[in-house]
Amino acid sequence: MIDHYQAFLEAPSREGFLKLQEEVQSEADFCAAGGFVDQLADLCQGGRYEQMFDLTELMPFAWVGSPSAHLYASIAAQQMGCPDDAELERFLCETMLEGLLETGDGSLDHPYQITYLSDRQDLLAYFSLTCEKQHLVRSPQGMMDVVTATTGEQICFLLGDTMTDTQLNDRHPVRISAAHPRLASKRLAACSPRRV
């Protein structure tokens, strides 16, 4: 499985990211609604960087496709005085976000194909959007979470088969944690068009 991860990192593409998603979702400990990123966000907000660092050092393979997981790993590494690790994790965060951006355009016809529920926050943070309301929509592609931003813009996220009906009903509203810095970079801005 690590081969698909390595292949995507060496030559990021839509197809490579979708294959990585498949591999990650087949992991025994994969859970789209899992609390790994929430746990990291809580530790970050509490300034418990050593615990964050220890947790991200043992990051399960099931979370390698998460921009947030790598973002928090970068923050933890920086706080622990490991600038090379922090830079690597920033690169991984940006690369995973780039992969997500390649999966669609956020429209009903071409929703973003998320791996984890936290991917919604990552994309909203990247576009500097705040969720005002959200609702589920059944489509021929599968279940979608449609988020309406405070700007009035709608962004659609394809939830796919990764969520059970119980998880769909119990999903948390999209909120960006106060500890979740804006996911944007010069590199991504140069290669990904901003939504209009």
Q: What is the pLDDT of residue 145?
A: 93
Select the more confidently predicted residue: 172 or 65. Answer: 65
Helix (H) or strand (E) holding 121: helix 118-126
Query: Nearest 5°: phi and psi at 125?
Result: -65, -40
Q: Over pLDDT 90: what percentage of the chain?
A: 45
DSSP classification of residue 100: H
Q: What is the pLDDT of residue 170?
A: 55
106 falls in which pLDDT band (50, 70, 90)? very high
pTM of the model: 0.82
Q: What is each CA distance from 128 to 70, 121, 122, 124, 195, in whole angstroms?
A: 19, 10, 10, 6, 10
Q: Which of 40-54, 97-111, 179-193 has the lowest mean pLDDT?
A: 179-193
191 falls in which pLDDT band (50, 70, 90)? very low
What mean pLDDT is reported for the chain? 82
Q: What is the pLDDT of residue 196?
A: 40
Give the residue from 35, 32, 155, 38 showing the smallest Cα distance to 101: 155
pLDDT per residue as tens digits for the range 76-94: 999 999 999 999 999 999 9
Distance CA 122, CA 71 (A): 10
pLDDT per residue as tens digits for the range 154-172: 999 998 765 555 555 555 5
Q: What is the pLDDT of residue 154?
A: 94
Select the more confidently predicted residue: 49 or 29. Answer: 49
Q: Is the dihedral of CA 102, 183, 25, 116 positive or negative?
A: negative
